[in-house]
Amino acid sequence: MATAKKAAAKKSPAKKTTPAKKTSASAKKAAPAKKADSTRNTGATAVKKAAPAKKALAAKKAPAKKAAARKTAAKSVTELLARGPLDAVKLLTADHREVRQLFDQYEELADREAEATERKQLAERVCKMLEVHAQIEEEIFYPAAREALSDDDEDLLDEAKVEHDSAKDLIAQIRAMEPDQDLYDAKVKVLGEYVQHHVEEEETEMFPKCRRRKMDLGELGERLAERRGVLLGDAVTGGSGSSSGGVTAVFGATAGQVE
């Protein structure tokens, strides 16, 4: 029996050991390349993720930069007039910047929840500035522009007058309220948006057309400056008038800054 088992063992061939697979040179080279690709892809993904964050940060910084630029480059209309006469377009444009500065200041007060008295005082400055600006345009500039511009531009002047009326309605609402009431800050903000739209239309459409029509903008500028000074002086003195002191008294040193 033992002899039979030995014979069977001799007949069974020994199992061959499968040799380990050799890593080819090309495979070895491919592995680091794959790792490098993976690293690059990971880096690219990180860059892609970082890009929106950078854009968002830049978007947040943009308004602050614009506001800072306005404060840095700002000059009051009074300061500009002290250097010499301004033509009508330059004066009205400077007035626009001055008003914009006041709205920026109010927004800062609202954001930090400043005292009601402080916000009300600045809101009144905004309202008075807008009233004076609208009045000198309607009394002096718009009639002259209506005479000089073509019939096709009548709508432009009519729309400007309607925009003034809308702003005056909102000014009346703001003056009838107290700063602690609901929607007070919102109404001041919306007033700023109305004014900005009005300003853009004047500066991009109306003013260029007035320059092309060769209006006597120098003479108009003198009339606007004189009337503006009287109205701002009246706001302080109750009627005595002042062409320069009134501006400072009503709007103060910082409020009279323009971009």
- The answer to whether 74 touches 259, Cβ cutoff 8 Å, is yes
Number of alpha carbons in the 13 Å side-chain half-sphere of residue 52:
4
Is 193 a domain residue? yes
Q: Per-residue pLDDT averaged across 69-92, rounded?
A: 78
Whats the size of the chain, residue-wise? 259
Is 198 a domain residue? yes
Q: Which residues lie closer than 8 Å to 219 by C-beta, 6 or more apart? A: none
Q: Is the pLDDT of residue 245 over 50?
A: no
Place of tokens 């609402």: 173
CATH of the domain at 245: 1.20.120
Is 121 a domain residue? yes
Q: What is the 3-state secondary structure of the chain? A: CHHHHHHHHHHCCCCCCCCCCCCCHHHHHHHHHHHHHHHHHHHHHHHHHHHHHHHHHHHHHHHHHHHHHHHHHCCCHHHHHHHCCCCHHHHHHHHHHHHHHHHHHHHHHHHCCCCHHHHHHHHHHHHHHHHHHHHHHHHHHHHHHHHHCCHHHHHHHHHHHHHHHHHHHHHHHHHCCCCCCCCHHHHHHHHHHHHHHHHHHHHHHHHHHHHHCCCCHHHHHHHHHHHHHHHHHHHHHCCCCCCCHHHHHHHHHHHCCCC
Q: Per-residue pLDDT averaged across 79-96, rounded?
A: 91
Give the model's confidence band at 38: pLDDT under 50 very low, under 70 low, under 90 confident, else very high: low
Q: Which pLDDT does position 227 carry in this prediction? A: 96
Per-residue model confidence as pLDDT tens digits over 139-192: 999 999 999 998 889 999 999 999 999 999 999 999 999 999 999 999 999 999
Chain mean pLDDT for the chain: 76
| CA–CA gap between residue 222 and residue 147 (Å, rounded) | 18
Percent share of the chain, pLDDT over 90: 53
Most confident of 32-46, 79-93, 183-197: 183-197
Is 25 a domain residue? no
Q: Is the pLDDT of residue 53 over 70?
A: no
Is 206 a domain residue? yes
Is 160 a domain residue? yes
**Residue type present at position 41:** N
| CA–CA gap between residue 134 and residue 201 (Å, rounded) | 15
Q: Taking Cα atoms as reference points, which of 91, 162, 164, 107 lies closest to residue 130? A: 164
- Residue-range definition of the domain harbouring residue 162: 68-255
Count of domains forming the chain: 1
Q: Which residues lie closer than 8 Å to 201 by C-beta, 6 or more apart? A: 156, 159, 160, 163
Q: Which pLDDT does position 80 carry in this prediction? A: 86
Q: Is the pLDDT of residue 73 over 90?
A: no
pTM of the model: 0.65
Is 177 a domain residue? yes
Q: Per-residue pLDDT averaged across 113-119, rounded?
A: 92
Is 134 a domain residue? yes
Q: Which pLDDT does position 45 carry in this prediction? A: 52
Range in 6-15, 77-86, 124-133, 140-149 the model is least confident about: 6-15
Percent share of the chain, pLDDT over 70: 61
